[in-house]
Chains A and B, each alone.
Chain A
Amino acid sequence: AQSVAQPEDQVNVAEGNPLTVKCTYSVSGNPYLFWYVQYPNRGLQFLLKYITGDNLVKGSYGFEAEFNKSQTSFHLKKPSALVSDSALYFCAVRDSMEGNAGKSTFGDGTTLTVKP
């Protein structure tokens, strides 16, 4: 069975500082990994994904994530946080095996608060 862990319920950073939101995963085959952001009373919006290739992937709004196969991690990062980045962030995994392609598993979410 596939699973995702986001070990921090809450991350607090000051505006202008770098931020990291952590994610680790477990799948049977090769992982497809995704980060989503959710603003209050809204649906989830896609930020970035890792499928294959370069371990550092860049996404929307200046976010990037680093895939580490040996540590089974996919941490979300941003060099300089903005107050407007404050939101709920979800990591998700999908198994590359064809029979599991329709099924995504999400972490419990991490609330990011950026203070001025």
Chain B
Amino acid sequence: QMQLVESGGGVVQPGRSLRLSCIASGFSFSTYSMHWVRQVPGKGLEWAAMISYDGGKKFYADSMKGRITISRDNSRNTLFLQMDSLRAEDTAVYYCVKDLSGSFDHWGQGTLVTVSS
């Protein structure tokens, strides 16, 4: 069945970088756009970034633009999110999400990023 497994979260100091990964299985990864969506514990959802099926188009939330980079490796069925200059307000669960006709079709379990000194 369809599965998305995120990794790479953890505790990181403010100003440092972190790279999240998401390994996809159970569907044809290379034919779908993908998203990263984050959620501060106990709060709402916030879209972070989207990448087209071939990596040719990328979109970012203004709140994170310039500090994050979304990428993918279709040969390894893997989605990435590079996060730089991390701030306390970036503390959240980061979800890897498969797109379906411009919506959020399937979600991973998420990986928690905690930015703290």
A binds B: no
Residues in A lying within 8 Å of B, measured CB to CB: none
